[in-house]
Copies of this chain bind each other. A is one copy, B any other.
Amino acid sequence: PESLPVTRTGTRQVPGSRQVFCPSNPDYAHAADRIVRRLAQRYADHPAVVLWHVHNEWGNHNALCYCDVSATAFRLWLRERYETLDGLNAAWGTDFWSQRYGDWQEIQPPRDTPAFVNPTQDLDYQRFSSDALLRRHRTESALIREHAPDTPLTTNLMGTLEKKIDGFAFAEQCDVVSVDHYLTAADPQAHIGLALNADLARGMASGAPWMLMEHSTSAVNWQPVNVAKKPGEMRRNSLAHIARGADSVMFFQWRQAKAGAEKWHSAMLPHNGTQSSTWREVTRLGRHLRALTDIRGSTVDAHIALVFDWHAWWALELDARPSSHLRYLDLVHSWYEALWSLGHTCDIVPPGSDLTAYRAVLAPSLYLVTDDDAENLHSYARGGGHLLVGAFSGVVDVNDHVRPGPQPGAFRDLLGLTVDEYLPVRPTDRIALADGSAAHTWAERLVLHSAAATLRFAPGAAGAPAAGEPAITHNPVAAGTAGYLATHPEPAVLRRTIEAFCRAAGARPAADVPVGVEAVRRRTSAGGSFLFLINHLDEAVTVPARGTDMISGLSYEGKCRLGAGDVVIVRE
């Protein structure tokens, strides 16, 4: 029972479900290691084992445990990070609210507290919890590699847009990256979220091909309403993953369970067997996939990078921020949606990665940014890059301390402006912009230094900046440029802004297709290329294409008719 996880309010959870263990528990670790060792010994040389899958969905349900064992492990993690109590007290700013620690034993996980918990403590607990699972992953991986040093190894990193664990850190430990994806039934544009998930999977794989470990043939069972996939939708989903770098498309589950918690999750072979629409669609997909073998190993064409960071996410959503309506995924999603609608393919990368190859880099939200990462973005722009930064970025350092001097602290010089005051607005308020469009949630009162305004505020919401104040800016930086959005524009103006930015940066879509049609290109190292054309519209469209249809064998001499909901893959 000591290995069972404990909730923030102190409830010890019970078996009868899934992932019912504390990530830091040594007894669990011991028992799990024994199983891993036995499995590795037994199957290391088995010819059918071509890949090891370590655990499944680390931390999907038990990422945050608040038990006493976790508390002890947290203290050890803190000792390693800060070495001294003075270091910890400084990093956590414990002078505020008289929280100074005189003994490591006094430190607790951020359990239930009467008022806001110390924010750096909370942030560190998310880091510690991700690390505790990563440690399990490394241990189990090492045990497997001991016996099977030459077999590649992966772990299913879940739908990649999960706050629970730092995906980049786990991906580094895998020979090949694999992820889940499940559509959000409530979102009629859920295929955009799919593309985002896939591009992040590719980012976690540093551009290399990756595996789709799980998706669904139709409905899932864990959302409030589990909408089934429409005819053709599963095929579009599958091929969209491949377009964006997946070299495999697998499903949970093979045969639909008749009992247990996931019996209402769709499967390749559903309850009603082979006399079913689902089975017919699955076998049709299988036939089509066979025609795509040559694509394997090719990489995806992307001239744009979108910056993503789990630490920035964790920090932005801590308690007691200027606005709780500033949600990290909303920001990333809205920028990504603009890119998607414009037909741009982007890599989704951590802020410290090598950006030199990209024509344009977008950073929708970097509230927390380390000094090194900030310098990486600076040097990208100085080197001729085009950078676009979202509101409330560059604000705090690695410890969630506000950077000294005017905001946007880490990006002040880069953006050529300072922030006089952050001006969040009420969720129902709309902020008018000078071109007649609107923004929402957030605004800032800027003082421009070297930057110039490309869009200004109009008379608008209570608390928003005055009419004429800059809303979107542009700053020349050595050979490059750095733009800033001091608000969250509605989709149309965000799209126009990003369109102009990408055009100036010389980034172009893979093909000239209407909004609602995806065009993505994969290239082989030998110079071959494959153009994926995916029609999410309810009507047929004609799009440019030149080459051979890999499924139908048809030849396109410049254009191709793409049926409603259809997918065409052209060998160019």
Contact with B along A390-405 (1 / 0, CB 8 A): 0000000001111011
CA distance A166 to B177 in the complex (A): 51
Contact with B along A312-326 (1 / 0, CB 8 A): 000000011111110
Chain B residues with CB under 8 A of A407: 271-272
B96 touches A262 (CB 8 A): yes
Chain B residues with CB under 8 A of A506: none
Interface residues of A (CB under 8 A from B): 5, 7, 9-20, 60-62, 92-97, 99, 106, 108-121, 185-186, 188, 218-219, 221-222, 224-228, 230, 256-264, 270-273, 275-278, 319-325, 399-402, 404-407, 418-427, 445, 462-463
Answer whether A271 and B402 are a contact pair too, CB < 8 Å, given A96-B261, A221-B320, A322-B226: yes
Answer whether A324 and B225 are a contact pair too, CB < 8 Å, given A12-B10, A93-B259: yes
Give the 8 A-B CB pairs with smallest separation, nearest first.
Answer: A93-B259, A96-B260, A17-B113, A61-B114, A272-B406, A116-B261, A227-B463, A61-B115
B462 touches A16 (CB 8 A): no
B227 touches A424 (CB 8 A): yes
Residue of B nearest to A270 (CB): B421
CA distance A120 to B419 in the complex (A): 54
Q: Identify 14 residue pairs between A and B in the complex whose beta-carbon atoms are under 8 Å apart, listed by A's number.
A: A17-B114, A17-B117, A19-B115, A20-B113, A93-B258, A93-B259, A93-B263, A119-B260, A226-B424, A228-B422, A262-B320, A264-B322, A273-B406, A275-B418
Chain B's nearest CB lies how many Å from the CB of A34? 15
Chain B's nearest CB lies how many Å from the CB of A436? 22
A320 touches B259 (CB 8 A): no
Among B94, B278, B427, B462, the residue within 8 A (CB) of A230 is B462
B14 touches A112 (CB 8 A): yes
Chain B's nearest CB lies how many Å from the CB of A193? 15
B13 touches A11 (CB 8 A): no
B14 touches A11 (CB 8 A): no
Chain B residues with CB under 8 A of A322: 219, 221, 225-226, 264
B17 touches A118 (CB 8 A): yes
Residue of B nearest to A118 (CB): B16
